[in-house]
């Protein structure tokens, strides 16, 4: 049980101006495991003022001085990885072993890579008679989601602080406890007051106050396309820079020469990781139409092996969905797929047998899906795979690109030149070939309604900088 009464502003734990709290629910047990303050706009004003005051002195430090703090933070995240993994598992439901590796391990590695990226970054560039400098953008508001909560926080705040920005963080109210543990770590490391600030609360209250604030220089947002659109709308009158990493409905193309025994299990894994609650999940599986039955049978067998259960349960491969609201949404879309005439291969509506408590759902596979069905167009955010048939490579590419989104994608094939050619024609920000995985030094982000801007590595660091040209006198 972790009940937080204060928020973190200007290097101190202080009461929120609000008088209520938000309960945090363990999705495996449906029990309250903690709470955080329900912040208000006045808290945002105080936090932004602290960040603004701290910006000048923090930006004036040498790069090495700032990186010393980031390296200390990476070290502490590593030292407390199991504690953090267990906490996040209890908040949002990823099986504990996976949470230790992914929910705690990935942000630790990402944070640890920032100093090297910063040291190699060209903060100055000589263009003949012009010196181009890269300056920190200023005060950055970071609004983060619940599905990979700490990773999305560190992908924003670590590079932002490294280059000289100060930050105000609003974590998701669904899984905020990890952000409070992070603030405790930062406080213990002695970061200068105001460099990092934490205001918990709801999006329509705290998030909108951040987006509308005239002293916020940049907003880095990860979440739904609907919410991201609202952030941009509210930020527009101040012409605030907005970085958005939003939704996805990504296609995984299995070419006719692919090894199905590797491709189909890999495709199911790429859809079901984190119970399907991944923005870059490969939720549309495209296979040659004449091999639909073969692909469906194999996918159904693999999906049936994803044992649902409590996040801390022995043998659990599929944890619960994060909330009752998310469970209701996924159930509704599964029923829509049935109503639309897709072939239900395995799974379906209702909870798995014997799991009446917790927001558990059945691992579900649909075959004979067409790309105009709701389950092929809407982001479900649950363990639901839609298998779509195609006639040839051109048809597969057309189906994959026929989406409002463009965050991720996949291609499977034994001819590397053919697979690469298909990957290059996909209108998406990331393509995994033959089950390859995320490179945290490469740019991550999407096309179309999946957002704008990039995170991670050199490209992600550049998002927190402004370019300035200084024209030097001749001679």
Catalytic, out of 279, 379, 455, 463:
279
User: Residue 43: which H helix or E strand, with range?
Assistant: helix 41-60
- How many angstroms separate the Cα of 255 from the Cα of each of 294, 416, 420, 457? 14, 11, 11, 31
Among 134, 95, 119, smallest CA distance to 468 is for 134
Among 78, 154, 240, 85, smallest CA distance to 456 is for 154
In this structure, are residues 444 and 438 in contact, taking their beta carbons and an 8 Å threshold?
A: yes
Helix (H/G/I), strand (E/B), else coil: 387: strand
298 Cβ neighbours under 8 A, 6+ residues apart? 260, 261, 264, 265
User: Residue 217: which H helix or E strand, with range?
Assistant: none
Q: Would the CA dihedral through 195, 201, 205, 211 be positive or negative?
A: positive
326 Cβ neighbours under 8 A, 6+ residues apart? 277, 359, 381, 382
β-pair type (218-222, 241-245): parallel
**Helix ranges restricted to H, 61-176:** 63-79, 81-92, 96-98, 105-120, 149-162
User: Is 279 labeled as catalytic in the residue annotation?
Assistant: yes
User: Is 165 labeled as catalytic in the residue annotation?
Assistant: no
The whole-angstrom separation of Cα 134 and Cα 112 is: 22
Residue 237 neighbours by CB distance under 10 Å: 9
142 Cβ neighbours under 8 A, 6+ residues apart? 153, 156, 157, 160, 167, 168, 169, 170, 219, 220
Among 26, 119, 111, 35, smallest CA distance to 73 is for 111
Helix (DSSP H) and strand (DSSP E) numbers for the chain? 16, 23
Catalytic, out of 91, 173, 205, 245:
245
CA angle 129, 133, 138 (to 5 degrees): 150
Residues belonging to the active site: 245, 279
């Amino acid at each position: 049980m972790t009940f937080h009464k204060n928020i973190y502003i200007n290097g101190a734990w202080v009461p929120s101006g609000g008088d209520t709290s938000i309960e945090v629910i363990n999705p495996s047990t449906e029990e309250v495991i903690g709470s955080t303050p329900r912040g208000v706009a006045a808290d945002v004003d105080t936090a932004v003022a602290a960040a603004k005051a701290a910006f000048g002195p923090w930006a004036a430090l040498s790069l090495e001085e700032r990186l010393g703090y980031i390296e200390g933070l990476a070290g502490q995240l590593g030292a407390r990885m199991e504690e953090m993994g267990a906490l996040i598992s209890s908040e949002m439901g990823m099986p504990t072993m996976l949470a230790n590796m992914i929910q705690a391990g990935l942000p630790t590695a990402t944070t640890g890579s920032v100093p090297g990226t910063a040291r190699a970054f060209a903060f100055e560039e000589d263009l003949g008679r012009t010196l181009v400098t890269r300056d920190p953008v200023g005060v950055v508001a970071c609004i983060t989601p619940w599905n990979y909560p700490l990773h999305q926080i560190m992908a924003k705040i670590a590079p932002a602080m490294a280059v000289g920005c100060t930050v105000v963080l609003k974590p998701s109210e669904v899984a905020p406890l990890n952000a409070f543990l992070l603030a405790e770590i930062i406080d213990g490391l002695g970061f200068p007051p105001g460099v990092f600030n934490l205001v918990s609360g709801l999006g329509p209250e705290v998030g909108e106050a951040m987006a509308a604030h005239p002293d916020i220089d940049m907003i880095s947002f990860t979440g739904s396309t609907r919410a991201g659109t609202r952030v941009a709308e509210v930020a527009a009158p101040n012409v605030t820079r907005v970085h958005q990493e939003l939704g996805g409905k990504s296609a995984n193309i299995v070419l006719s020469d692919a090894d199905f025994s590797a491709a189909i299990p890999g495709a199911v894994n790429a859809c079901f990781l984190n119970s399907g609650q991944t923005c870059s999940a490969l939720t549309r599986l495209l296979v040659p139409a004449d091999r639909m039955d073969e692909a469906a049978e194999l996918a159904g067998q693999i999906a049936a092996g994803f044992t649902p259960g409590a996040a801390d349960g022995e043998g659990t491969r599929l944890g619960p969905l994060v909330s009752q609201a998310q469970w209701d949404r996924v159930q509704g879309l599964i029923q829509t797929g049935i109503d639309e005439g897709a072939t239900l291969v395995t799974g379906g509506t209702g909870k798995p047998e014997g799991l009446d408590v917790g927001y558990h759902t059945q691992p579900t596979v649909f075959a004979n899906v067409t790309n105009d069905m709701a389950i092929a167009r809407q982001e479900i955010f649950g363990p639901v795979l839609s298998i779509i048939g195609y006639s040839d490579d051109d048809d597969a590419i057309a189906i994959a690109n026929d989406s409002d989104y463009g965050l991720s994608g996949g291609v499977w094939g034994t001819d590397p030149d053919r697979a690469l050619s298909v990957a290059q024609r996909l209108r998406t920000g990331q393509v995994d070939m033959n089950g390859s995985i995320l490179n945290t030094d490469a740019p991550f982000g999407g096309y179309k309604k999946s957002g704008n801007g990039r995170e991670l590595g050199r490209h992600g660091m550049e998002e927190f900088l402004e370019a300035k040209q200084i024209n030097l006198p001749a001679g």
